[in-house]
Structure 1
């Protein structure tokens, strides 16, 4: 099929040059030689019998973690103004539209700048958009949420999670340990936090504290 199409194109080009171009014999011979040279090159390097291959655009892997929604609910983000914003942002993340999810929550904090849950959600969305890497913008969002609601467990929990995903285990451990110390015994997130800290300790044990050195005289 490829050869047939090629020869048809050559004939069409040659006919157009003769009829419309009104070429002299010498010019026509040069043009015909160029066309034949192109055919020879195609015959040498081309493969007209090979089936066509459609190239599908590579999609960005979906790094959105459904477990983060359960953790977010346990940490108190269930009701209020933030709910509608967070639910729609979650749907965008599920579809792999991480940038759109982050931009949507940017609009959310512009409309409701005093809502700590929205700032936590924005921090999470920015981490997902960066493939699990905590960025300065995400750090700012978590810190803003902590400033608005110092007792809110969400900012330190998800900041620690972002550090852990970025491989910064010591920072994550320190943040989660502090959160655990100030959490009540019946806090709904306590068991999950203890489990995460235990798993972190098994994977990368914390370094023992150095002994106190005697004071020099």
Structure 2
């Protein structure tokens, strides 16, 4: 379910290590760097399909790539046995064009009558992060929390939340979320556990070697 995204996460962490330890970007510079990095790698994840044989792709506008990556990456985390609800499809159409405020508004309306729709809560969290230029707002955090509460076994909310924190330069927060996911995957003996644990270990190494990330 998340194996392909683990390779993307590893690339993101390697680039963050370069930014923090070699380029020595200031803490405030990591936010912009992270947004460009994670959205760019997310675009690769969708267009290049990690885990599949490489194939040439036609370049598309960056904003379109961002929206497409978010929609396709999220959808790939669910084994759909029936078509998604119409409001999610409509919201996705706006998200693909980078119109995250409209995407979020449609989801919020649809979730009033469908509060147990986990994928739509996850989509709402992603749309709110996109609308906030990559920052994890309280509203986005609440949406991810609702998605997790509906199905605590599903890894989507925690993995995407961790990636969103990484994108915003909040490396310690990303580490905390992914460490919790490792514990959950370990308890379930999931085969995805090793990949997430490796990402947490990389984050630990970055934090240990970068005093500015170690907090007060």
Q: Normalising TM by the smaller chain, what interval?
A: 0.5 to 0.7
Matched residue of 1:205: which SS?
Answer: helix
Work out the CA distance in 1 between the residues paired with 2:113 and 2:128. Answer: 18
The corresponding residue for 2:170 is: 168
1:133 matched to 2:138? The reply is no
Q: 1:69-80 counterparts in 2 under 5 A? A: 69-76=71-78, 78-79=80-81
- CA distance 1:191–1:69, change in 2 (3 Å): farther
| Runs of 5+ unmatched residues, structure 1 | 1-59, 209-217
Work out the CA distance in 2 between the residues paired with 1:193 and 1:135. Answer: 24
The corresponding residue for 1:207 is: 208
TM-score by length of 1: 0.55
CA shift digits 1:35-75 (9 cap, x unpaired): xxxxxxxxxxxxxxxxxxxxxxxxx9558343334432443
8 Å contact 1:146–1:155 — kept in the other structure? yes
Q: Which has the higher helix share?
A: 2
Matched residue of 2:180: which SS?
Answer: helix
Root-mean-square deviation (CA), in Å? 3.1
2:68 to 63, 66, 69: 66
8 Å contact 1:63–1:131 — kept in the other structure? no
| Runs of 5+ unmatched residues, structure 2 | 1-61, 210-216
Question: How far does residue 156 in structure 1 lie from its aligned partner after superposition?
Answer: 1.0
Aligned residues: 146
2:156 to 154, 174, 193: 154
The corresponding residue for 2:23 is: none
8 Å contact 1:82–1:115 — kept in the other structure? no
The corresponding residue for 1:90 is: 92
8 Å contact 1:82–1:118 — kept in the other structure? no
